[in-house]
Structure 1
Amino acid sequence: MCSLKSYSVCLREATLQLPTFSSNSNRKRTNVRWCSPESAMLQDFHLPMRSFEVKNRTSVDEIKSLRLITALKTPYLPDGRFDLEAYDALMHMQVLSGAEGVIVGGTTGEGQLMSWDEHIMLIGHTVNCFGGLIKVIGNTGSNSTREAIHATEQGFAVGMHAALHINPYYGKTSMEGMVAHFEAVLPMGPTIIYNVPSRTGQDIPPPVIHTVMQSANMAGVKECVGNNRIKEYTDKGIVAWSGNDDQCHDARWGHGATGVVSVASNLVPGLMRELMFEGKNSSLNAKLMPLIEWLFHEPNPVGLNTALAQLGVVRPVFRLPYVPLPLARRVEFLNIVKELGRENFVGDKDVQVLDDDDFGLVGRY
């Protein structure tokens, strides 16, 4: 920013010394001081996307207080493009049902199947339409630090309230490398770190979290290892959200978790809000278990995508490599909806089983 300020000063000085011309026919030009843009002078000079006057600027404490965050599904048109009409309807249901935040383009939202252009566009669209009603947390993490930096700059530039960051997956790195990776993105704004070793192949150990908690922008951890890890953090004053729907009730009321980043709240946001807001409720938690177990019988978001299609709130279109659950599982969902009550689920259409031919699978989009 200092470099940009110095550049603007040079421009002002240059403006004050514009060429002057004599009245004679030769029109001799006087000496003019000119300051070249540093971006043209310095190799690898980087112009940041983010400014210090980002709209929807949110305090870290606001993010720390969120109890129900929905990892939102991304719906598609038949050709595989985003179905923004269905997306907005899903967002509207989350707002009306009392969700306090949404993760845009996370694992559930299939950010891994998006280009970065799609990713940032969807974050910006969500902010512009719903940013005044709900906190928008953009998944701008990557196993490439360079990509994570660039995506996070863009995400905050279009107004997201916070960033979600995964540890470098597949290639992995050392503990020191994890710290360096997170420290490269934390200065940009409020940040939640996401630990899910079953997907990344590498745990984020507590010493890494304790180190990066020194950053003023570190909001907390979405933790999927389990409730003992969550308690280890909360006992030391570190904010943690359960990343496991099946454990979130006990995490919230028995282990100090602030709340949950939920997949199930795509389907039953009102019931998940009740679970997070209204005190210990083992009966409701047990009632939700068949739905949660069904959702995660196959890797997320396979079950969620199938369920939302059966409820008629999204088109039955899948971006590969995701495919719908088989017929027997779709029949099971029908029975689960009847047991919990259709009124507790999103949408207003009758739940259907759907035939195999009703689903569209898109490999190129």
Structure 2
Amino acid sequence: MTMVKSYSSGVCVRGFGFSDHHSNVGDGNKRSSYWKPPQATLNFHLPMRSFEVKNRTSTEDIKSLRLITAIKTPYLPDGRFDIEAYDDLVNTQIENGVEGIIVGGTTGEGQLMSWDEHIMLIGHTVNCFGGNVKVIGNTGSNSTSEAIHASEQGFAVGMHAALHINPYYGKTSMDGLVSHFDSVLSMGPTIIYNVPSRTGQDIPPHVILTFAHNSNFAGIKECMGNDRIKQYTGNGIVAWSGNDDECHDARWGYGATGVISVTSNLIPGLMHKLMFDGKNSTLNSKVRPLVDWLFKEPNPIGLNTALAQLGVVRPVFRLPYVPLQIEKRIEFVNLVNEIGREHFVGEKEVKVLEEDDFILLGRY
């Protein structure tokens, strides 16, 4: 049985002395001789140790994933999640060999979700698809306390792994990064995500190497290029490319395990070939114009526009995201026809949507 320490009534609580001695009675506001200055309270959170969690997976299982889709979150006209469209999209990913799903990442607009929505969607994905695909919940935050709490909830509803970004905007020191990731790694299998273009701060290799022997550290999603990926893989650290335009070369030339992809929302079968079937420069060149188009504006603007024009999701945008301009919408239709409609998700004919077709929501 776990022993719980007991404390006498004479200890210092929150910096104020409570003494069993009464020598100072009558001294008015004079401090007790036992008074100590306030000290920071240390909060020890307890990692979840149960092995009865549904769909529990090991860190090694996460390390082996080659194609992970950062899945899009579709919406209904009132701004709620369109679960039916979401399920169809996830099913299509699974049918095309995708091995993992990032739920509520940047692509899935986790930054526009309440935490209730976020955890609900993770739990729903696990419940419906957890036996066929690894569910990786984006439970990162620029607040360490919030990241810990969200990860506890995510693992409690059954997610297989967590995705954690470094604290953004306010940023922190290098020592602060180590402490932040140390705090969340105790929760379960974890992928660290480095994307300085969004966070404003690079996670340098010496910080990542600190976690090389942590049993919960699965690897890094790296957006700083293939030379950085090679640096990690050369040191035995699993790395996924976070750049779709570089992922083919990262996989076959720089040792990356695979990719965490946006483009696979649209063409999961072709992305599967790029990650599984060996070096294929011809196919890589074929899909490259689509990748370039997707990232002309910050993700997920291009993806949201594309999926709406494919008829896979309703043309509903949570602000501040808005659809691409008409010229870009026309370009997408031409790209679909050039690559082949059969390679894209959905079954409806691709079409150019007009301005009035889109619904933009400021409150939802």
How high is the TM-score relative to the length of structure 1? 0.88
Does the CA contact (< 8 Å) of 2:47 and 2:187 recur in 1? no
Distance 1:49-1:315 versus aligned 2 partners, 3 A rule:
farther
Q: Which residue of structure 1 aligns with residue 294 of structure 2?
A: 295
The answer to whether the aligner puts 1:135 opposite 2:134 as a matched pair is yes
- Shift of the 49–352 alpha-carbon distance from structure 1 to 2, 3 Å rule, reads farther
Residue 329 of structure 1: SS of its match in structure 2? helix
SS in 1 for 2:220: strand
In the TM superposition, what is the alpha-carbon distance from 1:214 to its structure 2 partner? 2.4
Measure the CA separation in 1 of the matches of 2:359 and 2:350: 18
Which runs of structure 1 show a deviation greater than 4 angstroms over 4 or more consecutive aligned residues? 43-51
Normalized per residue, the structure richer in helix is: 1
**Residue 65 of structure 2: aligned partner:** 66
Report the Cα offset of residue 56 of structure 1: 1.1
Task: Report the CA distance between 1:46 and its aligned residue.
Answer: 8.2
CA shift in 2, pair 1:225/1:44, >3 Å: closer
Shift, 1:51, TM fit? 5.5
Q: Supply the distance in 2 between the matched residues of 1:66 and 1:302 (Cα, whole angstroms).
A: 26
Give yes or no for contact 2:53–2:156 (8 Å, CA) kept in 1. yes
Equivalent residue, structure 1, for 2:227:
228
Partner of 2:156: 157
SS at match of 1:256: coil
CA distance in 1 between counterparts of 2:89 and 2:222 reads: 25
Q: Which amino acid aligns with 1:213?
A: A
Task: Answer whether contact 1:230 1:240 (CA < 8 A) is retained.
Answer: yes
Q: Is the 8 A contact 1:49 1:154 kept in 2?
A: no
* Equivalence for 1:32: none
Q: Separation in 2 of the partners of 1:205 and 1:289?
A: 28
Alignment of 1:201-212 (within 5 A): 201-212=200-211
Evaluate the alpha carbon distance shift between residue 239 and residue 85 of structure 1 in structure 2; reply closer, same or farther with a 3 A threshold. same
SS in 2 for 1:188: coil
Unpaired segments of 5 or more residues in structure 2? 6-40
Distance 1:228 1:188, change over 3 A: same
- Cα RMSD (Å) of the superposition? 1.8
Contact 1:192 1:221 in 2 (8 A): yes
AA aligned opposite 1:217: N
Give the Å deviation of 1:48. 6.5
CA separation in 1, counterparts of 2:97 and 2:154? Answer: 24
CA shift in 2, pair 1:47/1:248, >3 Å: closer
d(CA) in 1 for partners of 2:46, 2:267? 40
Quick one: distance in 2 between partners of 1:50 and 1:300?
34
* Aligned residue runs from structure 1 range 22-61, under 5 A: 50=48, 52=50, 53-61=52-60
1:317 aligns with 2:323: no
Structure 1: give runs of 5+ residues left out of the alignment: 7-42
Change (3 A) 1:121 1:46: farther
Task: State the distance in 2 between where 1:49 and 1:233 align.
Answer: 27
SS in 2 for 1:212: coil
TM-score of the pair, normalised by structure 2: 0.88
